[in-house]
């Protein structure tokens, strides 16, 4: 059963629970998050659930006046109106260097015995990605549940998918009745986003996965032997939104159930941490040793667009991989063959059809017919016989699979000039096109995705964000088979079991899965140590031996684009040194942000705490300096590293700075 009152989100000292009250202007009930001091519970109550229920019942109908009464209670800490968060929508293990008999995979047992809690749109339980064949019994420590609901029953959970819960009371209170929409009022996935992220993090091995002939091969998650627990917190409402109360309840239950890692491919507008449900829930998870991975957001490429920037969250940006989808274009009887980008979802072979170079009035006429801007396609090439087109463009990398609803091919300008010359100099120019090509080893890769949000964080700019880059462009993973994915022609949509999707929603579960592998290998590592291992071993060099570039600018990116670099799982298994962070250090950081005692209690769930120091220099694996038109500034960074390697080692500190910077010294003790 779905729980209205979250039990134990901030387990040690206080809890959150949603209530409804009336707005004076409209009379419409509204949901609030109410933060109560758990330690203030009267002795007469046997449980906090009874106390909260009694408190609400004693206030009868919750009008605004009654809400004011709550504010007067000595045990009341804070009340916030409901807010809504948003989504950010098999080859990657190979790209990341994961191997069956070498490195992190075998060292971790492929994530065996670990449980990943995924907060998302639900899950499609029949998918082969969630098959439990060969899995041992569920760990006895697991306390989760499999909830029933619309088209979802207890039999769908198994040794792979250990739990499935659904949380919609906050959404239904504010916006709609889920049962009246197309979404399922149950853990079943409607939009496919949750199935995609879950299978990316920990999908079982599935032979023969493909997207209409593209990316054929074996689909497998980052931690294929780990278990998955789905916490559905996003529901259809014109767009996919998550109510803050539902997310808090979901995170609360995930902690109570006993997950080892959380993956949240969603985010709320950045607010102070004490008002951000993910930041609050993630701190509660931190105290229980649970690693939390979150999407950086899809609001790039501009600065200050990062979401989920709390320093106890691992914030993941999106990068490309070295795989592209293409079509082979052959002119005439083989006079010239070029390769262009295409993800047209049909096994179509265009054979020796006439090809024309249209320009001037004819281009304008054709553009009007197909609703194209004549200025945008001027100088490009139209293949008319197949109702398709060959475009000359240097922006092919920005096109997504769903853009290819007709047999379009994009060639680079250099090849476009060759095609143009062939057409002009041939009396009877023809073209043949073969689709369904998958190219591997393309360069340069990775690149920072154009949409990936950039740092620094508006709320906490003294911590460099994002933390790291992970694969997030054209990722093949599970999809709901009854949900039309790609348009074909003018009116139809095609169905698929596996879809190619891009977003930091895709990069987040990659990092979560790799963190699961590391946690399985190093059971004594803290969440900060795991994040540090991933960050300090990340790659800043691409497969073309250059610095990772920004897709938008085409030049080398910066740490504000990709954090410390692109994740490298096999290096992360043995980082040598880690930057560990204790709970008290996070509290000191909040003190450095000038948070009030109430704000710190709300964020951390700790009633009794003290500020050993008020500092913005957290023991983080990265460094950032904020300059406000200051000509000369001196900053001292202090870091403490922990040796996690076997035996003793000697390390030499090296500092590389931009030409405009000068470092005085770098000392170690």
CA–CA dist 297, 311 (Å, integer)? 16
Counts for the chain of helices (H) and strands (E), in that order = 17, 30
In the chain, the largest separation of any two C-alpha atoms, in whole Å, equals 95
Q: Which residue, among 270, 228, 276, 278, has the nearest Cα to 250 in the 3D structure? A: 278
How would you classify the pairing of strands 161-166 and 227-232? parallel
Residues 6+ apart with CB under 8 A from 89: 193, 196, 501, 502, 503, 505
Q: Which of 193, 196, 522, 566 is catalytic?
A: 193
Q: 414, 334 in Cβ contact below 8 A?
A: no
Compute the Cα dihedral for 481, 484, 489, 491 and give only its sign: positive
CA–CA dist 333, 560 (Å, integer)? 50
Show the tokens assigned to 164.
């499935």
Residue 542 is a catalytic residue = no
Q: How many residues does the chain have?
A: 669
Residues 6+ apart with CB under 8 A from 423: 355, 356, 357, 381, 429
CA–CA dist 544, 446 (Å, integer)? 9
- What DSSP character marks residue 547? B
CA–CA dist 74, 66 (Å, integer)? 15
Distance of CA 474 to the CA centre of its chain: 14
Show the tokens assigned to 200.
């990316």
Distance of CA 463 to the CA centre of its chain: 19
How far the first Cα of the chain sits from its last, in Å, is: 55
CA–CA dist 565, 573 (Å, integer)? 16
CA–CA dist 155, 125 (Å, integer)? 10
Q: Which of 120, 246, 322, 467 is catalytic?
A: 120
Residue 505 is a catalytic residue = yes
Q: 237, 269 in Cβ contact below 8 A?
A: no
Which residue matches tokens 């239904």? Answer: 172
CA–CA dist 411, 380 (Å, integer)? 10
Beta strand segments in 461-573, E? 468-471, 475-478, 486-488, 492-494, 498-501, 549-550
Catalytic residues: 120, 193, 505
């Amino acid at each position: 059963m779905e729980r209205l009152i979250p039990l134990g989100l901030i387990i040690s000292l206080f809890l959150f629970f949603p209530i409804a009250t009336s707005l004076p202007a409209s009379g419409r009930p509204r949901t609030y998050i109410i933060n109560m001091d758990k330690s203030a519970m009267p002795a007469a109550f046997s449980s906090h659930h009874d106390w909260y229920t009694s408190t609400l019942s004693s206030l009868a109908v919750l009008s605004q006046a009654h809400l004011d009464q709550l504010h007067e209670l000595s045990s009341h800490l804070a009340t916030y109106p409901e807010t809504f968060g948003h989504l950010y929508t098999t080859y990657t293990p190979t790209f990341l260097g994961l191997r069956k008999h070498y490195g992190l995979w075998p060292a971790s047992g492929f994530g065996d015995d670990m449980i990943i809690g995924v907060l998302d749109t639900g899950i499609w339980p029949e998918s082969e990605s969630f098959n439990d064949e060969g899995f041992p019994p569920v760990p006895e420590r697991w306390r989760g549940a499999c909830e029933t609901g619309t088209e979802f029953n207890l039999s769908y959970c198994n040794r792979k998918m250990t739990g499935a819960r659904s949380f919609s009371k906050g959404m239904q209170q504010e916006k709609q009745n889920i049962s009246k929409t197309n979404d399922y009022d149950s853990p079943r996935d409607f939009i496919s986003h949750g199935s995609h992220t879950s299978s990316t993090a920990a999908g079982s091995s599935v032979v023969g996965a493909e997207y209409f002939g593209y990316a054929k091969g074996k689909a497998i998650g980052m931690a294929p032997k780990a278990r998955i627990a789905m916490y559905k917190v996003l529901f259809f409402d014109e767009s996919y939104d998550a109510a803050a109360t539902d997310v808090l309840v979901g995170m609360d239950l995930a902690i109570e159930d006993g997950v080892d890692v959380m993956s949240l491919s969603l985010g709320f507008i950045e607010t102070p941490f004490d008002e951000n449900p993910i930041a609050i829930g993630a701190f509660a998870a931190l105290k229980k040793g649970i690693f939390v991975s979150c999407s950086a957001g899809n609001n790039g490429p501009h600065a200050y667009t990062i979401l989920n920037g709390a320093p106890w969250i691992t914030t993941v940006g999106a990068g490309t991989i070295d795989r592209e989808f293409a079509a082979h274009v052959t002119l005439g009887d083989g006079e010239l063959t070029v390769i262009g980008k295409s993800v047209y979802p049909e096994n179509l072979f265009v054979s020796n059809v006439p090809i024309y170079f249209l320009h001037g009035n004819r281009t304008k006429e054709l553009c009007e017919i197909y609703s194209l801007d004549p200025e945008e396609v001027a100088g490009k090439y139209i293949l008319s016989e197949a109702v398709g087109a060959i475009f000359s463009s240097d922006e092919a990398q920005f096109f997504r699979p769903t853009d290819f609803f007709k047999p379009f091919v994009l060639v680079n300008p250099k090849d476009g000039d060759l095609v143009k010359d062939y057409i002009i100099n041939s009396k009877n120019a023809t073209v043949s096109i073969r689709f369904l090509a998958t190219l591997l080893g393309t360069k340069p890769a990775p690149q920072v995705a154009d949409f990936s949000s950039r740092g620094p964080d508006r709320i906490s700019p003294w911590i460099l964000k994002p933390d790291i880059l992970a694969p997030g462009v054209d990722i093949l993973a599970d999809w709901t088979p009854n949900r039309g994915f790609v348009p074909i022609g003018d009116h139809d949509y095609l169905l698929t079991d596996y879809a190619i999707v891009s977003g930091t929603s895709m990069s987040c579960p990659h990092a979560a899965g790799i963190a699961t592998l590391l946690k399985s290998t190093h059971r004594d590592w803290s969440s900060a140590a795991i994040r540090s291992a991933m960050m300090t071993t990340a790659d800043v060099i691409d497969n073309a031996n250059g610095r990772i570039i920004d897709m938008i600018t085409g030049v080398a990116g910066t740490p504000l684009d990709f954090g410390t670099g692109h994740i490298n799982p096999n290096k992360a298994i043995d980082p040598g040194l880690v930057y560990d962070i204790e709970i008290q250090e996070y509290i000191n950081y909040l003190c450095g942000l000038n948070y009030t005692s109430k704000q710190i209690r709300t964020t951390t769930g700790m009633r009794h705490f003290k500020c050993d120091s008020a500092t913005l220099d957290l023991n983080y694996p990265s460094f950032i300096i904020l300059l406000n038109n200051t000509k000369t500034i001196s900053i001292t960074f202090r870091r403490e590293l922990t040796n996690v390697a076997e035996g003793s080692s000697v390390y030499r500190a090296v500092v590389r700075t931009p030409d405009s910077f000068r470092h005085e010294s770098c000392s170690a003790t």
